[in-house]
Structure 1
């Protein structure tokens, strides 16, 4: 029986996170709706607010402590007071730890985006907790960044909403519908009874991208909002792998790009292995790649080394070292050809770099895969990578095409 929890109210730790500007009522209205009108109810065990330094004092005065509106709401409707302190009213800070007074410039927006992103990252690291996010308060850019951060880091148990109250009830005194009749004066219009006000909490569905991200990315606080955008965009790009020759980059003239992103970190032998596999895949070679018999391994070594030579030349880039390891050493001793022992660590390194560069889901179309059949392990590339998705320089394509006809 599957006992995995997916509903936010089922978690022992339940976190409410909101962005807020100069209207503290956004938080009490959201808390009221979650606890009194939602079915089932969501009772937060802790509250966190993201705001700017310019409105921090007002939020603190109106919401915190025994005279604060959150305490009053809990008392009026008889539910436990969530953990909520000064430290949980989080003022946005820049990279130097300076508080952001307001969001008025492009630099302010970048600072807010990174701060909000890291707060959501932090609160979604606890698998034993659920996160409920309200985007109703604060500046529109803050709501946007919070919503996008939820798309990146949000889990199956996390939710996002927007609270709505009729403009007729806009008042400096209104924070939530009271349990008893209480007349209030709005900014415009006739007095109203606060107990009769209806609050609507609209849940906002969002696309969850988290499953496509690696743990090191999810835990890396140095990744900015812009970095996250770039990684998410990679996942949405069409499948395409391309090898380019750029002679102006003397040390690394070959560029490998997957979905438009350059794959860096491969040494010459690893790049040659991967290009060899790309050639085989593009030419739809039907002989499945495996390393179980010596004659087969020797033939494969020759095919691989032909690619290596085309990429780096006979006297550069480690070709000689590979030749000695696979074909014949300096003393004339014959080698076994390309074996699983030679191939496996390179496959592991290639796949690791692809995942690190593209994320788990982004790399799924490019990583080297294994399949078992007839007591043999076969290597290849995913079927989702089509022949037309592979773009190689013509001379590299032709050499494989000729050899496949031998």
Structure 2
């Protein structure tokens, strides 16, 4: 991405907020982004994640004809059309698909985390849009999940912020944004009069770590569970552990099964055995490599099988030129390495993938960057 391009330069600009019982968080954030900012971010569409009660409050206070605070804000400051209707009010559902009126139990929190994470995944799927996320509304756990989800899926053009409203106004259900004209509201037990035109809203950008490039590709396209994504991310921070089960031909990396073909499994088993025997550097460009690999492959598939015959024939004529032997292994290496990336993500996968370490004369040395104790062969 060209880093000179700002989020406001994108043709599609999305504002995402979570709200609870105070839908004015949306108008306060929108005012801060569009009116008060030196480099305005004017969304082309708005999405709200909320509870059943929160959605009803947003509908009545923001989207109604009267008071209709969302359209009032647009008219007061001549903002362009912004796609925001009840269709963009996304009510959190539980595991049974029922709309939730509040978030109280551990089960409620898990469902909210999954719901929020999945919406952030969907809204960041379009590379030609910029997403701005506000943490100002909803329960604290909702804000936490929203910020963490953006850390998991956010791109270079995405932003995270929080708004702070000046004293007195922040607790008033009648305050929605600083008006360009005098508007008096009564706040607190003493019914103190305040002019909305004098209110101040400070918006603070919040930096966040972007982990998107390290996520497994399956988390980009499928419905996701927050805990599964976090567990996968945390597991990648722990020491690697490769487990090969010869009988079932199952390979586990970071406790995840990598779906390898028999020939790919044999390739990994062969390389893993070399590590266990403390002879980690295997020269693929050699007749000896072909013999060693076929010996391992015979233990994965029967030597009388068609698959074994095909491998034997393929390697037999390649032995005449060691470079051809290497190319046979390299093709399967590329395909296997790709499967590790799909399941684990690029960064975690690199710990388990087969790597070329050097080239000497006609030889080609390959290895796994693992220690013997990090490999278990069953």
Per the TM alignment, residue 341 of structure 1 is displaced from its structure 2 partner at its CA by 6.2
Secondary structure in structure 1 of the residue aligned to 2:172: coil
Using the TM superposition, name which of 88-97 and 168-177 deviates more.
88-97
CA separation in 2, counterparts of 1:349 and 1:256? 15
- Aligned residue for 2:260? 266
- Aligned residue for 1:346? 332
CA separation in 2, counterparts of 1:234 and 1:381? 23
Q: For structure 2, which runs of at least 5 residues remain unmatched after alignment?
A: none
CA separation in 2, counterparts of 1:167 and 1:19? 22
TM-score, with length taken from structure 2: 0.85
CA separation in 2, counterparts of 1:269 and 1:349? 11
Cα gap change, 1:121 to 1:244, in 2 (>3 Å)? closer
Q: For structure 1, which runs of at least 5 residues remain unmatched after alignment?
A: 291-295, 397-406
CA separation in 2, counterparts of 1:205 and 1:279? 45
1:220 to 202, 217, 222: 222
Matches within 5 A, 1:6-405: 6-67=5-66, 68-169=68-169, 170-188=171-189, 190-221=192-223, 223-238=224-239, 240-243=240-243, 251-252=247-248, 256-258=251-253, 260-280=254-274, 283=278, 288-290=283-285, 296-297=286-287, 299-308=288-297, 312=299, 317-319=301-303, 321=305, 324-325=309-310, 336=318, 339-340=325-326, 342-369=328-355, 378=364, 380-381=366-367, 385-387=369-371, 390-392=374-376
Per the TM alignment, residue 379 of structure 1 is displaced from its structure 2 partner at its CA by 5.8
Cα gap change, 1:375 to 1:215, in 2 (>3 Å)? farther
Cα gap change, 1:237 to 1:351, in 2 (>3 Å)? same
CA separation in 2, counterparts of 1:328 and 1:126? 47
Deviation readout 1:35-67 (Å, 9 max, x if unpaired): 122231111111111111123222101101444
- Asked whether the 8 Å contact 1:326–1:336 carries over to 2, the reply is no
State the aligned residue count.
369
CA separation in 1, counterparts of 2:283 and 2:189? 77
